[in-house]
Amino acid sequence: PDNKALSFCHSCGHFFCKDCLQEGIEFYYCKKESCQQQLQEEKLQKAENSIITNKKSITNQYKFMEKIFILGIIGSILLFIGVFTPIVSIPIMGNINYFNNGKGDGVIILAISILSFILVLFKKYKGLLYTGFGSLAVLIFTFVNFQIKMNEITSQMNSELADNPFKELANTAISSIQLQWGWALLVIGSILIITSSKLKNEKFI
């Protein structure tokens, strides 16, 4: 009775000193049997809530990892398919794909796509950052190289056919050379592979 009251019991509402109270997870409880029972119920409820929260966290993590896996798989497949789709159309010759019968840079992209697929299967997402940027680097190199060659051909044609009546016909043929939809698959595939790796790294840093 002489001790100063610390707080009140959350169950019965009476004030008690420090020695007569037991601290729960959120509230104080006195040492009466009924109040102690409520203390145990509070602890049990807290434990149940913690289990539910952990289950939700694990479920969300699993779903997130599943999305990363799917992104990596789709990216690898798109990159693989893109190698065999038309990237340039040339008059008379028709469409040319990136593989070009094993002579083009598409061979490198093909190898990268297979490697990326294997990395995803084994969940080695960090490696996808290298394969993704590697494939983009090869694509950029090919694109820039293509533009340089086109400019060289155009300049050469204008120089050699300056007074030739077939100059316009040659220019028309050159202007008919067009990039094709295969580029879209290749670029999207590379971006998805990079995204898969970045999401994994950012989520679990």
Per-residue DSSP letter, 158: H
- List pLDDT tens digits, range 49-82: 888 888 888 888 888 889 999 999 999 999 999 9
User: How far is 152 from 93, CA to CA, in rounded Å?
Assistant: 20
Percentage of residues in the chain having pLDDT higher than 90: 44
In whole angstroms, give the CA distance from residue 125 to residue 116: 9
Token pair 């149940």 in the structure block, residue:
48
Check: CB of residue 31 under 8 Å from CB of residue 41. no
pLDDT tens digit string along 157-174?
777 776 777 667 777 777
CB atoms within 10 A of CB 85: 19
